[in-house]
Amino acid sequence: MLPNNEVRVPPRRALVQEKAVPRDITAEFTEAASKLRTGQLVKDETFTLFEAVGALEIMDSKMDSGYIAPGENHAQALEDDYDVRRDLTPEQVVGLMDQLLCHEMAWHMGHPLSQTLFTSIYIDKLLWPVPRTIEDARFDRVPSEYPLVGLVLRTYCLALVKACDFVHARVASEYFYEEEDFVTQLYNRNLLSTFDSSHFYRLLDQAVDWVDVQEGIEQKLRDAIRSRLLLRREFLAAVDQDLEILDTRSTDSFVSCLTYLKTLTETAALGNAVPEAFSLKLQRKLASTVPPRPIVHIKQEDALAHMKRLCQDAIDMQQMLDYRGPSNFKTAVWTLLSRKPQPSVYIRSLLQALIVSDMTILGAVSVRQFLYDDLAELVLPSSILLRANTDEVELPSDPRFRVAQIMEGFVKRFAQPYVDTVRSACLNRCRVRRTICHTVVDWDNLQMEAEELDLQLQSLSAEPALQFQGGEATFSYPLSSWAYHQKLIQLRLILQMGFELSVYAPEELPGIYWYLSHICSTHLSHLDRIRTFTVAARKRDLVSSTHGETSAHKSPAYHRSFLYLERLTTHIIAIDAFAIALHALYVLLARHQVLPSAAGPDAYSSDKLCYELRMKPFIPISLPELVPFEEYQREATLEGDTDATILDRASKAITEARKAWEATLANGAFVEDISSPMKEPSIAIEEDWRRDIKDTMRACIGASIAIETVKKALLGDSPRSESDPLKLQVFIPEIGSKTQWHDWWIVPQISEKKAAKAATS
C-alpha cells in the first residue's frame, strides 16, 4: 500500500515532519474540563450549537467513516488483499464490466461515487495515485501479465471513467440540485479529465482487436466482451459530443449504444460476479465529510433500462433542435421533460445548455428574437413595436426612436426571466413546482413593470382606445397582457403539479379543482381580451394600408396569432371543463361524507388555516387576487346548490371536457407554420404529447363513470332520505397507480357498498 505516499498525503500537512513540537496538554485539559458543570460548554463565541449539529462523532460506527470495529484486524480493515493483477476468467470480466456499469448508472441516478464506482478496487487503483500519463493509469505499478485484465478490463474502466468525466463536467456546469439530482463530489479524485479522449478510443480499438483474435475464448464470451467494449466506445463518443450535436445533429453514437445495450441484456447471464473486487473499505481513504454509507446495489436490469432511456431521450431530444417558433419549442421542451420517469440529470443538463447557450436559443435564435417571436405569436402580430430599431431611426425626436428604446429596455428586463420559464422545466419535478412558486411572484412584478412600458408605448404609437366587453374604453397593454398570460400559466402549473407530486389531501380536492377552474376562467377572459385587441389591430391595418402590399405581408402573422389563440383557448377550456366536473363530483362526495379525509376529528387545523397554507404561493400575487376565504368556501362547496343541480353541472362539464380534449388532440402538439413548413416533425415527442392527451381523455371517461355512479346512488330507484348515508365506497388512487390515468387528474374510484357491509359500518 501507499507506494507513492508523498502524493497521497496532501502537501498541506506532513505530520511526522512537522517542525514545531506539540505539547502534551492532556492532564491540564482533563483537569479543567472536569471543573465544568454538566451542560456547561466552553466554545468559540462565533461557533453555534446549530453548527455543532453537523459534526460527525468519531468512533461511532454510523458516523465515523474511518471507524474500525474492535476485533477487526487493522491492516485488513484498511486494505483489501484483492490482487488486481490476478487472472480473471472471461466470465468474470463480463461480470465485472456489468457490475461497473450498474455502479456508473447508480451514480447517474444520483448516488455518490463513494457508494458506487469508488467502491471498485480496480477503479481506485487506476485513479490513485493520480496517473501522470495514460500509461500510468494502471491497476498496479507492475502491469498484470494477463491481457484480459491489463488491456481489456483496464481499457473498459478507463473509458468508463472518462465518460463519467464528461457527464460530470456537463452536469456541474448547469443548474441542478446537489444531492437531489446528482452528487458531484469527487473526494479529491480526478476522473482522468486531463487526458484527451483520443487515448481512450485508441485503447478501446486495441482491446477490441485483441479480443477478436482470441481463439481460446469461447465465441459467445468473446462477443459479449466485444459488445461491452464497443458500448463503452459509443457511449464515450456520445457524451464526448456534448453541445456539438447542435452542429453535427448526429444521433449515431446513441443509436449504436442502444444496439449494444440490447446485446448486453441478452448476454447478461454470461457474467460471473466478482463481489470481492468491490469494497466499502475504500471509503475510509476518501476525503469525506459524510458518515459511512453502504454500497448501492441496483439491479442490472434497472441499470440497463436507465442507460437505454438516457440514450433514447438523447436521440429524441434532437428532434427539437430545429427552432419552429416559441410555442412549438416550449411544447417540445415541456413534453420531453414530462416523460415518466423524468429524463436523467445528464439529459436535463444537456438540454438546459441547448436551450440557451451563448445567448442563443438552440444555437440559432437570439434570446431577443425568441422573446419577440413569442410576443408576436400572442399579442403583437405584425406590430411597429417589434420592428422599431434604434439603428435605423437616428433622430432621437422620432417617436420610433423612443419606441425602440423602450423595447430595448423591455428585452433587457424580460429576456432572462422568460428564458428561465423554459429552462426551469429541466429541474427535477419537485423543484419545477417550487421554482414556479418563487418566480410567479417575480412575474407579478414584471407585469406591473410591463404595464408602465405599455402606457408609454401607447402614447408614442397613438393607439386608439377600445371598448372591451361593454366596459370603459381601454387599451391593448400588449406587454403586460403577455406577462399576465405567462403568470396565469404558472399559477395553473402550481396547482396541477401539486396533483402530480401528490401533495393534496383527499379533503382538499374539491377546493383545488375549484381553484383550478377559477384560474382557467380568468385565463380564458384574458385570452378573449387579447383576441379582441388583435382583431381591432387587424381591422386598422386593413383600413390604413390601401396599398394592399403591406397587408398581404402581415396576413400570415395575424393568421398564426389567431390560430395560436384558438388553440390555447381550446386547451384551457378543456382543462376548465374537466376541473369543473371533478370539482362538482368531489363536492357531492364531501357533502355526503364519503370522501376520505386525512385529517382526524381532533385536528389542530381548520378549513381556513388549510386554505391559507395551501394558497400561500398565491397570497402575494396582486392579479388575479387570491379569492377571499369566505368567497372561496361558498364557491368551492357550491353552497345553496341542490345535489341535482350539482350532478347536472358535473355531467354537463364532463361532456364538454371530453369534446374539448378531443378538439385539443385534433389540433395536435405543434402549430404548423404555413410560411415555413416543418422541416422534421418531432415524431417521438409528438407521440408523448398525444399519449398525454389520450391519458387525460381516459381520465375523463373514468370521471364520467364516477359521476354516473354517484348519480345512481343519489337519484336511484329507492327514494332515500337526507339523513341516509350514501352507500358508496370511495377510494382515491395513488399517483402513478394503474387506476390513475393521468397525474394531473385525480379521478376517484367509486363503487357501491354491499348492503351487508353498509349495515356493519
Partner 1 sequence: MTQDAPSDLRYVRYDSARENEYVAAMRQLISKDLSEPYSIYVYRYFLYQWGDLCFLAMDDKDEMVGVVVSKLEPHRGGPLRGYIAMLAVREEYRGRGIATKLVRMAIDAMIERNADEVCVQRVKSSSQFSFAHCVVCRVQIVLETEITNTAAMKLYERLGFLRSKRLHRYYLNGNSAYRLVLYLREGVGSIRTSFDPYGLPPAPLPTLDQIFHPPATAQGNGS
Partner 2 sequence: MESEKAVEYLNGLIGRTLRIHATDGRIFVGLFKCTDAERNIILANSFEYRLPTTSAIHEAAAKETESWDKTETKAATVKVNMSSRLIGLIVIPGRHITKIELE
Binding site for partner 2 (CB under 8 A): 1-3, 5-6, 8-10, 13-18, 20, 22-26, 28-44, 47, 51-52, 54-60, 65-68, 74-75, 78-79, 188, 285-289
Query: At closest approach, how far in Å is the CB of 743 from partner 1?
Result: 12
Judged by beta carbon distances under 5 to 8 A according to partner kind, the member of partner 1, partner 2, none in contact with residue 134 is none
Instruction: Please state, as a whole number, how many other Cβ atoms lie within 10 Å of the Cβ of residue 44.
Output: 7
- Does 280 participate in binding partner 1 (rule CB under 8 A)? no
131 half-sphere exposure, CB direction, 13 A CA radius: 20
Binding string, residues 581-600; x marks residues near partner 1 by CB under 8 A: -----------------xxx
Residue with cell 460506527: 61
Phi and psi at 467, nearest 5°, equal -85, 125
364 binds, among partner 2, partner 1, none (CB under 5 to 8 A by kind): none
Q: Which helix (H) or strand (E) holds 346?
A: helix 345-355
Q: Single out the residue of 120, 335, 383, 435 in contact with partner 1 (rule: CB under 8 A).
A: 435
Contacts of range 699-703, beta carbons closer than 8 Å, 24 or more positions apart: 699/578, 699/741, 699/742, 699/745, 699/747, 700/578, 700/581, 700/654, 700/657, 700/658, 700/661, 700/745, 701/658, 702/741, 702/747, 703/578, 703/581, 703/582, 703/585, 703/654, 703/657, 703/745, 703/747
Q: Is 288 in the site for partner 1 (CB under 8 A)?
A: yes
Query: What distance in Å separates the CA atoms of residue 159 and residue 236, rounded to the nearest whole number?
Result: 7
Q: CB of 151 within 8 A of CB of 139?
A: no
Query: Closest approach of Cβ 171 to partner 2, in Å?
Result: 23
Positions 296 through 315 that interact with partner 1 (CB under 8 A): 296
Between 79 and 695, whose beta carbon lies closer to partner 2?
79
Of 335 and 349, CB closest to partner 1: 349
Q: 33 or 364, CB closer to partner 2?
A: 33
* In the complex, minimum distance from the CB of residue 138 to partner 2, in angstroms, rounded to a whole number: 18
Ramachandran angles phi, psi of 475, nearest 5°: -115, 170
Alpha carbons 661 and 376: distance in angstroms, whole number: 26
- Near partner 1 by CB under 8 A, which window of 420-428, 535-543, 639-647, 691-699? 420-428
Given partner 1, partner 2, none, residue 26, with its beta carbon under 5 to 8 Å by kind, binds partner 2
**Sole residue written with cell 378531443:** 662
Residues 6+ apart with CB under 8 A from 201: 233, 236, 237
Task: Look at the chain and count its residues.
Answer: 761
Contact 506, 473 (CB under 8 A): no
Helix, coil or strand: residue 178: strand
Query: Does 666 help bind partner 1 (rule: CB under 8 A)?
Result: no
Q: Which stretch binds partner 1 (CB under 8 A): 331-339, 355-363, 461-469, 672-680?
A: 355-363
The residue among 62 and 340 lying less far from partner 1, judged by its C-beta, is: 62
Q: How many residues touch partner 1 (CB under 8 A)?
A: 86
9 SS3 class: coil
Return the one option of partner 1, partner 2, none that residue 285 interacts with (CB less than 5 to 8 A, by type).
partner 2
Tell me how far apart the terminal alpha carbons of the chain are, to the nearest angstrom.
71
Nearer to partner 1, 7 or 172 (CB): 172
20 binds, among partner 1, partner 2, none (CB under 5 to 8 A by kind): partner 2
How far is it, in rounded angstroms, from Cα 276 to Cα 120?
9
Q: Of 54-62, 233-241, 251-259, 648-656, which segment contacts partner 1 by CB under 8 A?
A: 54-62
CB atoms within 10 A of CB 170: 19
User: Which residues from 536-575 bind partner 1, rule CB under 8 A?
Assistant: none
Considering beta carbons, is residue 84 or 211 the nearer one to partner 2? 84
Residue 83 or 212 having the CB closest to partner 2? 83
CB of 35 or CB of 299, closer to partner 2:
35
Q: How far, in Å, CA of 208 to CA of 228, rounded?
A: 10
Q: How far is the CB of 282 from partner 2 (least distance, A)?
A: 12
Written as nine digits, the cell of 586 is 368531489
Site string for partner 1, 160-189 (x = CB under 8 A): ------------xxxxxxxxxx-xxx-xx-
Interacting positions 334-353 with partner 1 (CB under 8 A): none
**Nearer of residues 38 and 219 to partner 2, judged by Cβ:** 38
Q: Does 103 bind partner 1 (CB under 8 A)?
A: no
- Specify which residues 324 forms β-bridges with: none
Q: Does 193 bind partner 1 (CB under 8 A)?
A: no
Task: Give the whole-angstrom CA distance, residue 183 versus residue 177.
Answer: 9
Query: Which of partner 2, partner 1, none does residue 674 bind to, with CB < 5 to 8 Å depending on kind?
Result: none
Give the x-and-dash track for 204-243 against partner 1 (CB under 8 A).
----------------------------------------
